[in-house]
Structure 1
């Protein structure tokens, strides 16, 4: 009986080692929570700007009819706002992920993390170029659902190199983006839910599922 237990324990350890070598397990739930908070702040700033310019949640299509300096100002603000949100979320994500990796005694820059980044980069770069084309041809309101869809595709692509929960988040982002294509009056709201609320929920679940007990040790 004792020998069987030892064999089972050995197999469990081998499986754990294989999983760690093939999957990036240092993603921190706090990265998701922090990214969600930053996204909500960015969406709040965009909402205030749109309100000041009398472009309410129910009139985003009016952005497509902006011309001259007004359109340039709006586009510049949205790009700046999105860039700040992206950079802040990435920096916070790197911080929490590196911290978790160090706590686990693992390097976060290895062959698995490189494959994960490549899987994420292809859909994200393609989506970024696609969104720039939408802005170029004055289809600003479509950029909100497009970012959700391509981001969700990136998460689904990268999920095979990390925990399965990432795939669920990716599918949720894609579904929300597809809904936003037809629910155009609430583009900013769906963007805030996708990048803000869903990230906070995902990060909280990740933290409770994988990190809470680990931090108690």
Structure 2
């Protein structure tokens, strides 16, 4: 009788978790988002080399408008790939476990995620407009981390740790201006892959 009572409580707890949190996020989406960032980061490094920028020597880091345009385009492509993988793996997991995707919880999570991202995007556009390029990579890491922490209450609580790491990495990179690409690859590439693998193992 006691065992049945425990099973009923576990079932009720599971139903409450499903109704209050978006649990369709897949660890694989984090892995593939990280891989997209790594590939994109390597491509950006090749762009620097092509434009005569000795990135690791700290010399000749003057960005032409054509290079800036290519960098912005590369960022959009990387974001599109990461978002696409995230949607694909989320839909796949939802179908596998028969979980609803578009719920009030999903809307709340996206809203809490979108507000810091929108403000951060506007801030980065201002940096771009004023040609303060060295601050863009730190800003993207910090605002992305804040967005994850803000959305944590509507999805897996583990995501806040990724958010804290992104904020910390972005804050550190502010003191090493000119090396934002390295921190960007670490934050959006390496951290995402590690987080994705941990989540996949924990919640598979």
TM-superposed CA distance for 1:57, in Å, is 3.4
SS in 1 for 2:61: helix
| 1:176 corresponds to | 169
| 2:16 corresponds to | 18
| 1:75 corresponds to | 68
Cα distance in 2 between the residues matched to 1:94 and 1:171: 23
TM-superposed CA distance for 1:61, in Å, is 8.2
Superposed counterparts of 1:72-151, under 5 Å: 72-151=65-144
TM-superposed CA distance for 1:76, in Å, is 0.4
TM-superposed CA distance for 1:51, in Å, is 1.5
* 1:166 aligns with one of 135, 159, 167: 159
Equivalenced residue count is 203
Cα distance in 2 between the residues matched to 1:141 and 1:30: 31
5+ unaligned residues in a row in structure 1: which ranges? 212-217
**Residues 194 and 61 from structure 1, CA distance in 2 versus in 1: closer, same or farther, beyond 3 angstroms?**
farther
Aligned residues: CA RMSD? 1.3
| 2:61 corresponds to | 62
Q: Structure 2-normalised TM-score? A: 0.96
* 2:25 aligns with one of 21, 24, 27: 27
SS in 2 for 1:123: helix
Q: Is the 8 A contact 1:38 1:88 kept in 2?
A: yes
SS in 2 for 1:164: coil
TM-superposed CA distance for 1:185, in Å, is 3.4
Q: Is the 8 A contact 1:131 1:143 kept in 2?
A: yes
**Residues 205 and 50 from structure 1, CA distance in 2 versus in 1: closer, same or farther, beyond 3 angstroms?**
same
* 1:190 aligns with one of 183, 186, 189: 183
Q: Structure 1-normalised TM-score? A: 0.90
Cα-to-partner distance string for 1:99-154 (whole Å, 9 max, x where unaligned): 00000101211111111100100000100000000010010111001000000000
Cα distance in 1 between the residues matched to 2:26 and 2:119: 26
| 2:193 corresponds to | 200
TM-superposed CA distance for 1:179, in Å, is 0.5
Q: Hey, which of these two has a bigger chunk of helix by percent?
A: 1
TM-superposed CA distance for 1:6, in Å, is 1.4
SS in 2 for 1:163: coil
